[in-house]
């Protein structure tokens, strides 16, 4: 058998985590990216820095502070336990929160760049014609940035699958609960089971290559559309 039961359990948990994280990130990142693309304020640089912080911050540092924030004796941890009867740290919910923060810039930045290139004249024209903000967003912004939404989804999903330091700090390594693929691979290497490690690593390499092909294909498709000249209307005059 190519994948062991432990691998399959970790695989299903990893993809569940990545899917939930990506969906929630799209809901949260879209208004953040829109605000950053339209906000002309000195405070914009600060907000952009906060969003991009996980790109430069060591994952263990981010995981450490998240562990403190979600700990059972923290205000958030106590509130969550009072409402649900479960703790946040070392739980799947805690992993989702940590993954959302860790992968936030990978979803926000592609959307922000796409929103900044929206034709403002089209938006103003639609506003003059009486279209509401929501109508303008759904009829102009989303259709023209569809590929960027796909790109942001792929990047967020792939980045969540590849997490290690953050999930180890906030989730521990609990089989069936918080043990994702990267942690199983770490356990194989630590126990010197290199055959199993090679098997799982090859699966992750294949997945990563597939995600990169999708990302570059989406980017190439966007660039080709931008380079295609718009058809001109001839008046027949010489």
Residue pLDDT, tens place only, 80-115: 999 998 899 999 999 999 999 999 999 999 999 999
Residue 12 lies in a domain: yes
Residue pLDDT, tens place only, 174-222: 888 899 999 999 999 999 999 888 888 888 888 888 888 888 887 776 5
pLDDT of the residue at 224: 55
Residue 79 lies in a domain: yes
pLDDT of the residue at 212: 84
In whole angstroms, what is the distance from residue 140 CA to residue 154 CA? 22
Residue 114 lies in a domain: yes
Residue 126, domain extent: 5-225
In whole angstroms, what is the distance from residue 191 CA to residue 171 CA? 20
Number of domains in the chain: 1
Residue 42 lies in a domain: yes
CA distances from 29 to 79, 135, 190, 212, 233 (A): 25, 19, 37, 21, 39
17: its two tokens: 């985590």
In whole angstroms, what is the distance from residue 161 CA to residue 198 CA? 17
The H or E element spanning position 138 is none
Q: What is the dihedral of CA 186, 188, 192, 197, to 10 degrees?
A: -100
Could you identify the residue written with the tokens 């194989």? 188
Domain CATH code at residue 33 = 1.10.3720.10
pLDDT of the residue at 226: 54
Residue 57 lies in a domain: yes
Residue 232 lies in a domain: no
Residue 210 lies in a domain: yes
Residue 96 lies in a domain: yes
pTM equals: 0.84
């Amino acid at each position: 058998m190519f994948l062991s039961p432990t691998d399959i359990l970790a695989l299903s948990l990893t993809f569940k985590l990545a899917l939930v994280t990506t969906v929630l990130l799209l809901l949260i990142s879209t208004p953040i990216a829109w605000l950053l693309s339209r906000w002309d304020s000195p405070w914009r640089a600060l907000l952009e820095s906060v969003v991009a912080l996980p790109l430069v911050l060591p994952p263990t540092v981010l995981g450490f502070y998240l562990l403190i924030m979600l700990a059972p004796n923290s205000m958030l941890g106590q509130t969550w336990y009072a409402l649900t009867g479960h703790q946040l740290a070392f739980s799947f919910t805690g992993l989702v929160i940590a993954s959302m923060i860790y992968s936030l810039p990978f979803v926000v930045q592609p959307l922000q760049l796409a929103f900044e290139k929206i034709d403002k004249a089209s938006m103003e024209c639609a506003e003059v014609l009486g279209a509401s903000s929501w109508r303008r967003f759904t009829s102009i912004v989303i259709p023209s940035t569809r590929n960027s939404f796909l790109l942001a989804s792929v990047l967020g999903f792939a980045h969540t699958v590849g997490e290690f330091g953050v999930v180890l700090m906030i989730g521990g390594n609990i089989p069936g609960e918080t043990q994702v693929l990267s942690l199983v691979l770490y356990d194989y290497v630590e126990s010197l089971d290199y055959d199993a490690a090679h098997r799982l690593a090859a699966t992750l390499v294949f997945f990563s290559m597939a995600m990169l092909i999708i990302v570059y294909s989406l980017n190439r498709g966007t660039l080709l559309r931008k380079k295609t000249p718009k058809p001109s209307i001839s008046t027949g005059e010489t």
